[in-house]
Amino acid sequence: MIEKIGVIGAGQMGSGIAQVCAVAGLSVIISDISADQLAKAVAGIGKNLDRQIAKGKLTEADKQAALARIGTGTSLSVFADSDLVIEAATESEDTKRQIFKALVPNLKPAALIATNTSSISITRLAASTDRPSKFMGMHFMNPVPVMQLVELIRGIATDDETFQAIKALTARLGKTAAVAEDFPAFIVNRILLPMINEAIYTLYEGVGGVEAIDTAMKLGANHPMGPLELADFIGLDTCLSIMQVLYEGLADSKYRPCPLLVKYVEAGWLGRKVGRGFYDYSGPTPRPTR
């Protein structure tokens, strides 16, 4: 039975995962190399819970109980008694492999490991640990507290016991599981990112401007957010890394990242998190940058 959860990475995804686990009654510990980032994550979780109280979804007592279940630390040794550790670090295979190599000496033998990767091979990541049978993908959607889906991905060595335990945990968190095979970008990003990349090609080739493309997809395809607005929300660096995983992993030219996406990333225009991407977020309303 999974009762103690470790989360690696106190960014948007890691803090969101920690929040839903704590609200579901699980004991959570978040680790990050930055103590400042950890403090920011816990403060952010508090604000998110306040919003849920305002909507009548939680009580003040629920909030205090959830926050009391969250601990933090800057060392991986904090995971010594965790039943499951979920890695939610940056979307870089090298970074994730280094984290797993450093993590495994700190775990008890029965501990499971999950990665929140949105595109990288689960089998390859599992091979960098001492327990490939106890390793799998648990891809939460952003923002975690709001989005209902978790993609569950087994590596070639993942055993059924691990899969069933993670599946049960997903249900306990109030999420819906979609089971995906271990192919580049799984289900959601295999479909979503080429659409975003195509929207960027549509901009690059001058078929339409930023606002025209987003309006067309919102009103013409009933999407809640236009593809360029969504790219800014995801982070253009993340979009590019997923397209590169698809392009390299499937060797099909239809997954070639748009040169304009590459240029925006080279310029450091990574989207909402830096205040500029396909939109400029410095004013009261976002303005298109093209």
Pairing of strands 149-154, 112-115: unpaired
Strand partners, 280: 276, 287
Contact predicate 113/134, CB 8 Å? yes
280, with CB counted inside 10 A (0-12, 13-18, 19+), is: middle
Question: How far apart are alpha carbons 282 and 285 in whole angstroms?
Answer: 8
Measured from the Cβ of residue 101, the count of other Cβ atoms closer than 10 Å reads 12
Question: How far apart are alpha carbons 253 and 181 in whole angstroms?
Answer: 22
Give the pair of three-digit tokens for residue 229: 């607005």
Nearest-CA neighbor of 152 among 129, 131, 122, 184?
122
Residues carrying an active site annotation:
118, 139, 151, 189
DSSP secondary structure of 121-188: -HHHHHTTSS-GGGEEEEEE-SSTTT--EEEEEE-TT--HHHHHHHHHHHHHTTPEEEEE-SSTTTTH
Contact predicate 137/182, CB 8 Å? yes
Q: What's 197-237 look like in SS3?
A: HHHHHHHHCCCCCHHHHHHHHHHHCCCCCCHHHHHHHHCHH
Question: How far apart are alpha carbons 187 and 3 in whole angstroms?
Answer: 29
